[in-house]
Structure 1
Amino acid sequence: MSNTIYIGYYFKVKPIQPAVEILIAELGYAGFESFVETEEGVTAYIQKEEWNENNLDDIQILNSDEFEITFTFEEIEQTNWNEEWEKNFNPIVVDNVCAVRAPFHEKFDTQYDIIIEPKMSFGTGHHETTHMMIQHILKNDFKDKSVLDMGCGTGVLAILAEMKGAKPIDAIDYDNWCYLNSLENVERNTCKNITVIEGDASVLKNKYDIIIANINRNILMQDMETYVSCLNKNGLLFLSGFYADDIPMIQNECEKHLLKFEEKLERNNWVSLKFIN
């Protein structure tokens, strides 16, 4: 598969809050998938194949009299990502139990210590959806459970699943860049039970006790039937990558496939849902 090229938008925002939070939410709806908050505002990334000059037409805050927002944009070469993240990536600690850090950060005194070479904000733990998925994994029993991390990004969720005793684990992403990055991070964390696969839902053939899918609403809706067909009886399905407004649509699709809703986490209008088969 070919490498994914991104368009980076650099927004300067005055005053910063609450404008940045609103802007990120609206950009998420418009197809932007990665965000870095900066001292001046926010940097947002969208895949070049999803980009067109009309992407910002529905971003209402850009026309607000309350905030002054200017921006520039450029095509991002992949070689720029490491440098960008060394400048912008800060370590995080989730619930005082799990740390996610880069190799250039000092080790934390936490039960779980995950080291990743960060190349995008989805999958580092900084984005709300990954943060909530980490919370789900921390709260649930993964020992000796077979796990699928669908849309694995950096592989951080698969890595934490192994640290919690899961095996075997498949980590799948259609993006070649994510696939290669997950391979690096699996090795960096000396994981032994994770198989990284490049592809989409069409490559699924195994059955799992737990499926983690942190992607986006449209892909979740499109592939739900496939996920359910791969889920063992009494298996758990954790979903994220969408907003609170999307819950009825997602929940209806899950219930159509006889999944039972169990729990919701919410963080800055992003949500993560837990279902049982």
Structure 2
Amino acid sequence: MLIYRVPGSLDDSLDLLWEAGATGLEERGGFVRAYFEKRAELPADLGGEWLEEEDQDWQAAFKRDLKAVVAGRITIAPPWLAHEVADGQLPLIIEPGMAFGTGHHATTRMATEALSDLDLRGQTVLDVGTGSGVLAMAAARLGARLAYGIDLDPLTIPVARENAEQNGLYPPQLRFSEGTLSLSGAELCRPEGEDLAGYGVVVANLYAELHALLAPSYRAHLLPGGHLILTGILAGRLDLVTEALKVGQVSDLQVRLSEDGEWALVTGRAL
């Protein structure tokens, strides 16, 4: 097996490796391992090295190494580890490889923990950029009356719905639609048939620049006393988000910050 190993993570821009013919990428120990059928011409400034290793059953190794994720009162696990969800924990079973996130990234875990810290019984929750639907599903598991996930990418919506069905979560409690927020929040984003004045919780796992742009819309979607949960933020870009939350109608939010390695979580409560 031919491997090109380069320092970094899967969050780095790695299009060059795919374009050079990589058949797969894996992050391990601070390196990205790119698998090739034959050597390719790669720029020296990438700082990588070629390795040859014996072929392995990577699917078996992946299953062996993958662990359930405990995030507050929620445990996110693949189907073959469903039996390991501890008594008293609320399970979310996600099939890895269904795309758009399985809950194992630090940002998803932090957001799920933040949701778990709230009393969501009877609440309405908006999940912006829902992807695989993990955060909306977590809100439903935690007792939300309505958890509504939206995403710009139409490919995510069938995946999210399939994940929800496999977890026994269905409309009207849990719904998914293609969509996004306007930058101003002038029009409330809500599922068809719901007459809402706003949401008790808005959660978004996006990135700092987009959070900064959407800050007014987040606030416009929050009911008085509502909670805002933002993640997907690199710690080095946290100032972009905190500054945006100090401007105009957003400035009434009581904001708290936390970090986990290179990732940050912003939570706020509307006055």
Cα RMSD, aligned residues only: 3.3
Contact 2:147 2:174 (8 Å CA) reproduced: yes
Residue 272, structure 1, aligned to residue 262, structure 2:
no
Which residue identity lines up with residue 27 of structure 1 in the other structure?
D
Residue 145, structure 1, aligned to residue 130, structure 2:
no
Q: 1:228 maps to what in 2?
A: 219
Name which of structure 1's ranges 203-212 and 226-235 shifts more when overlaid on structure 2.
Answer: 203-212
Q: For residue 187 of structure 1, report the CA deviation from its aligned partner.
A: 0.8
- Alignment deviations for residues 211-263 of structure 1 (CA, whole Å, 9 cap, x no partner): 00101122222222222111111111100111112122101111212243432
Q: How does 1:86-125 map to 2 (within 5 A)?
A: 88=62, 90-95=66-71, 97-107=73-83, 108-110=85-87, 111-119=89-97, 123-125=101-103
Contact 2:207 2:234 (8 Å CA) reproduced: no
How many angstroms apart in 2 are the aligned matches of 1:252 and 1:157? 25
- Alignment deviations for residues 91-131 of structure 1 (CA, whole Å, 9 cap, x no partner): 32225743212223342224111011233675322111101
Q: How does 1:131-210 map to 2 (within 5 A)?
A: 131-192=109-170, 193-202=173-182, 204-206=188-190, 207-210=198-201
Which residue identity lines up with residue 274 of structure 1 in the other structure?
T
Q: 1:27 maps to what in 2?
A: 12
Q: TM-score, normalised by structure 1?
A: 0.70
How many angstroms apart in 1 are the aligned matches of 2:237 and 2:29? 31
User: Is the partner of 2:80 in helix, strand or coil?
Assistant: coil
One of 27, 37, 42 as aligned partner of 2:27: 37
Higher RCO, Cα 8 Å, sep 6+: 1
- Alignment deviations for residues 159-212 of structure 1 (CA, whole Å, 9 cap, x no partner): 111111111111111112211110101111111311101122248534111000
How many angstroms apart in 2 are the aligned matches of 1:196 and 1:185? 11
How many angstroms apart in 2 are the aligned matches of 1:275 and 1:210? 10
Contact 2:100 2:156 (8 Å CA) reproduced: no
Contact 1:36 1:121 (8 Å CA) reproduced: no
How many angstroms apart in 1 are the aligned matches of 2:255 and 2:97? 33
Q: 2:38 maps to what in 1?
A: none
How many angstroms apart in 1 are the aligned matches of 2:263 and 2:101? 15
Q: TM-score, normalised by structure 2?
A: 0.72
Contact 2:231 2:264 (8 Å CA) reproduced: yes
Q: 1:238 maps to what in 2?
A: 229
Contact 1:153 1:173 (8 Å CA) reproduced: yes
User: Is the partner of 1:162 in helix, strand or coil?
Assistant: helix
Name which of structure 1's ranges 84-93 and 211-220 shifts more when overlaid on structure 2.
Answer: 84-93
User: Is the partner of 1:238 in helix, strand or coil?
Assistant: strand
The 1:242–1:118 alpha-carbon spacing in structure 2 relative to 1, beyond 3 Å, is same
Give the aligned length: 227
Which residue identity lines up with residue 136 of structure 1 in the other structure?
A
